Structure 1
Amino acid sequence: MTDLATSTSRTVPVVPDARLGDSQRARLQVLEAAITMLRRYAFHEASYDLVASTAGVPVAEVKALFPTWESLLIGTLDLWHGRRTAPILPVAERHGAAAFLRALVQSNIEDPGLMRVLSATVNIAATPGHPMAPHLHEAWRHFHVTVMRQLAKDIEAGREPDTMQPARGAEQLIALYEGLQLQSMVRPGMNMLDAFDRAVTRMRDGWSKTYTPPVWDLDIT
């Protein structure tokens, strides 16, 4: 899971400071500090102490606002991802799902910190009983549904062929996006945008053909 639901923050509203109450302003200050901290440090190094020192406030104040580490992480990811995604959402309506994912790739290249953090949460999402897992599962499902619905609109608009099933297309497009993102993090010299463009072009060409179930005739004995 390397992306969240395409929505703005549910924890702290993205509104001008003048319209925030003291408590909301304090929470926003801490979340801003958490974003800065996660850009500087690896996910496994993150801590209340680092957030507090980055924000310039006592650790006790951070814990009073976010009593659990999970609540602080969720708030941080929601705010960070919401700000990253909001300006990109119009791309989907104007140019389609594939262009939307490409815009996310470009944004991740410009600010790789968020993608590193989201990739680190995969282990959390896959851990049974972890308090953050349900939130991450919901976020990923929302992301898949968002892409799927946009692909359905793309078919109606003639941007994509009707031989492509939106649910399957979303699986494939997201798999390509997430898989290449992961590769780019362990292959520093990789041209992520070029790799995405080439792979999407090949995939969309396949969408224009009627699907034929493969026959695997493998002799492994």
Structure 2
Amino acid sequence: MVPSTPWTDGAFAVLLAALREGNAAVDVTGVLTRHQDRAVGVVEGDDDDVSDRLAQLQADPRYGAVRVLSSETSRRRVFPEWAAAYQQADPLLHGDEDVAVLLTAPLDADPVLLARRGEALLSWFRAHPRAPLSAQHHTDSTSEPVRVVNVAIEVLHETGIEDCSLELVADVASISLDELVVLFPTRPDLVRAMIERWAGALSGPLLPIAAELGAVAYLRALVRAHAEQPALMRLVASTLSTSTSSTQPGGEYFRAMYSGFKAVIRDALEDDVRAGREPATMDAERGAQQLLALFDGLRVQALLEPGLDMVDAFDRATARTRRGWSEPYEQHDPFRQLTAGVRP
């Protein structure tokens, strides 16, 4: 995809969220990576679904010029869990010459070369199917802690939180347990780093949506992203006990992380009021409390109720909540009404 006008980060974030919505609606999955004003990715699904989806993208001016570089038939999907995973810059990705040329050089008109480079991109993603989870950047490509955290994310995704031990992570990372403990002295330290990196990979590309369309739109995009990552939701849920303790290692950090996220939503709501997206009668602090109660509650509910449509539930609840923001607040005490009619 090459846009007719350069993408801003906000415009691309909105585009990414819209791509996920459209893909999910027709059971199409895949991955997208971006370099400046070019996006290249993989779209997978049943033949007719993929053809129809590509036709939709080519007809939508927001995506610019959409070209098919290569296509093939496969028995299974590479990204069955993701409507449209987003792969941020990764030194390994740019390390493949054909992929690097595909992302950075002028597109060659030779269909044979384009097909070869498209196949190289698909091969890279097949070899690194969890790469979008780690948000690796060129600046930290040589960092041993980053490498270990990426390994830990992969291990947890494959085994579950209960079996993701320090010993197993060390074994898969090909380092000794003593070397791992130097990097992450306790399991909460490693969990903290995993959440920070994994959640950052999901939220970072979407954050500009808050400035473009508002806090509710940003959280909606996050709900969609988290719905595709139940392993991350389980990891976050596993920290609840630690987060509420004043004595457990990492508790203060997790509380600070939550407070920081709440501040992002509160500030976005304040911007929404100034921009006229939300009514002036809405108190941003209380609005953030309500939205996070919904966001966190849906993530927990999805773990207890597999198959829950988190996005639909979010849409229904926020529609009513936003209407309430426009109305004067009246405290409602159902017990007062019950006792008012009781006579001695």
Q: In the alignment, what sits opposite 1:56?
A: 174
SS at match of 1:44: coil
User: Is the aligned partner of 1:94 residue 2:200?
Assistant: no
Matched, 1:189 2:311: no
Specify which of 87, 106, 110 is matched with residue 228 of structure 2: 110
Aligned to 2:190: 72
* Higher helix proportion: 1
Higher-Rg member (1/2): 2
- Equivalence for 1:8: none
Shift in Å, 1:28: 1.4
Query: Structure 1 residues 212 and 185 mapped into 2: Cα distance closer, same or farther (>3 Å)?
Result: same
CA contact 1:36–1:54 (8 Å) conserved in 2: no
* Paired position in structure 1 for 2:252: 134
Which whole-Å CA distance do the structure 2 matches of 1:105 and 1:188 have between them? Answer: 15
Paired amino acid for 1:215? D
Shift of 1:58: 2.6
Distance 1:84 1:53 in 2: 27
Match of 2:200 among 73, 77, 82: 82
User: Match of 1:5?
Assistant: none
Q: Describe the shift of the 1:21–1:95 C-alpha distance in structure 2 as closer, same or farther (beyond 3 A).
A: closer
The TM-score normalised by the length of structure 2 is 0.56
Q: Secondary structure at the match of 2:298?
A: helix
Report the AA paired with residue 47 of structure 1. S
- The 5 Å alignment of 1:191-206 reads 191-206=309-324
Shift in CA distance, 110/21, structure 1 to aligned 2, threshold 3 Å? closer
Is the 2:273–2:279 Cα contact (8 Å) retained in structure 1? yes
**1:24-39 matched pairs, under 5 angstroms:** 24=143, 26-39=144-157
Alignment coverage as a number of residue pairs: 205
- Hey, what does 1:15 align to over in structure 2? 137
AA aligned opposite 2:185: P
Pick closer, same or farther for the CA change 1:160–1:184 going to 2, 3 Å.
same
Report % sequence identity: 35
TM-score by length of 1: 0.86
Stretch of structure 1 that moved more, 152-161 or 61-70: 61-70
**CA distance in 1 between partners of 2:271 and 2:149 (Å):** 35
Instruction: Tell me, in whole angstroms, the C-alpha distance in 2 between the residues paired with 1:13 and 1:41.
Output: 21
Once the two structures are TM-superposed, the CA of residue 13 in structure 1 deviates from its matched residue by: 9.5
CA distance in 1, matches of 2:290, 2:208: 22
Ranges of 4+ aligned residues in structure 1 off by more than 6 Å = none
How many angstroms does 1:85 deviate by? 1.2
1:159 is aligned to 277
Q: After superposition, what is the alpha-carbon deviation per residue over 1:56-81, rounded to whole angstroms, capped at 9, x for unaligned?
A: 33323212322222322222221112
Higher strand share: 2
* Matches of 2:226 and 2:193, distance apart in 1: 20
Indicate the larger mover: 184-193 or 157-166.
Answer: 184-193
Give the structure, 1 or 2, with the largest relative contact order (CA under 8 Å, sep 6 or more).
1
